[in-house]
Structure 1
């Protein structure tokens, strides 16, 4: 693969290219780089910072709560704005406060540090060096993915166990019944979760009520004496079944009379009925959220696998990262962030 980034460009601005090219350039740059001292790497080299970010990310993903923490952190428009600001250049808390004011967010330095910066630090999307904050490679790529998703806070709960996201991911693979979702989403609050997603227009119910479908049996109609109308009703029932309303339209018979003839055909063992349960599916907005979740998962998986090569570990050791595992109880670790008095 031809590397399109020179050593000088990679040292100065390693962000302005695709993820694949960045990772390829990182490997090639270090192979040919001859620093005077190891301290040069730590203090001056952005390639070293990239490797550090990726290695630390791999350690973070070992925590089964990582996905829940990451998504809950991103479901906040102020944090997303800070991530965008830090993706451009480094900032202190003081300069972050000034930049946020330009976007209409007025907060004290302590609030910015504790409520917005600290959660971003905890999940590894930003890093701190000498009192200044910068976006990590993960943070920079996430800011690109979420630049048009500032309203995610309004449609998904910001402090949750991410069962809503798990439900969206399950429905992204296709419509599902309540029972199917119940076997996938292990929570007693599934009804409440589905109601919340429906209220925010992320999912829709295919059927408001259970539909009754009518099917033909294998019995031949010639074995029974049928009236012309009964024969017409039987003939218009397709192999895949049909609801009574649809059959009434096809036969041009009123719905009341359609039910009447269906009862007669059932009595003659020519028709049987089956209840089709209601299904849930994603709306257009829900599909966009599902695609965003998938992109985030793919991004973190690629970066974690890249860390295996930097750490001289075979790719087989890195398994596909499970998205949105059910979190366990954990204790918050306090972090000290200095603010200007």
Structure 2
């Protein structure tokens, strides 16, 4: 756990805030522990000073008010175990009290001292924000108060179920995120789509563009080659089986763009069953109200292949289809 050294002579402090009163913020000196070793200084401060605008955090770094081992440091300085970071007095904005996240555990697929992989249920956000007070990571931290470090390695949409990685050490977080960035992992999703998926369509190589719609929500649309902000996105599709109304697909992503699978399948003319954002709303409503009572999105992160962040051994992890999905997709 981080040690916080006194805000002034003879005034040791504990907790994340060293101010003697809310009106008088004070200097903090924080000793970097294993959970923060290797982190950039700017990211470390953004976590320590939750609620403070990024512009202000970078301003105090540029002004030299933040010191590492009593010397000036840059935003991209990598912190090392035992470093002492001087954090200047910063007044945190007053915010309405948020209800604490309820402690909750989730089905564990794999766990050791470096990594936790869970089977996330549909309908649960991975973290708080954007109108959601808390998610998986906050619930896990509450359920495991003794854990020194718990951070999301990647994200899943709230509506998506399946395998989610949480790092238990910063070294594991960096190693796994490097694998994701370098496309050295295999992430396969089960997706049920409307209609008869063409067997010949095995590769979708369509760039994607993120934008904010008139409703203020984040959306993604297919882009054009050469279009500003269009990022190349590749999904590999394999047909598992077909029924009278649906096609069950295995989709392996070679890139990890926001809403990639949802938009790729929709633009191919076969939206994901139950998708509330890009799907066929009339069919979804009919399915939810009919005998099946299926009222979620059928997208499930079912298989994950990564190298273990400490040993390098290949991990191949799987999460079976949730019962309601297995029933709907049955032959």
Q: Which TM-score band applies after superposition, normalised by the shorter structure?
A: under 0.3
Taking structure 2 as the reference length, the TM-score comes to: 0.16
Greater percentage in helix: 1
> With structure 1 as the length reference, what TM-score do the two structures score?
0.16
> Larger Cα Rg: Structure 1 or Structure 2?
1
By percentage of residues, which structure has more strand?
2
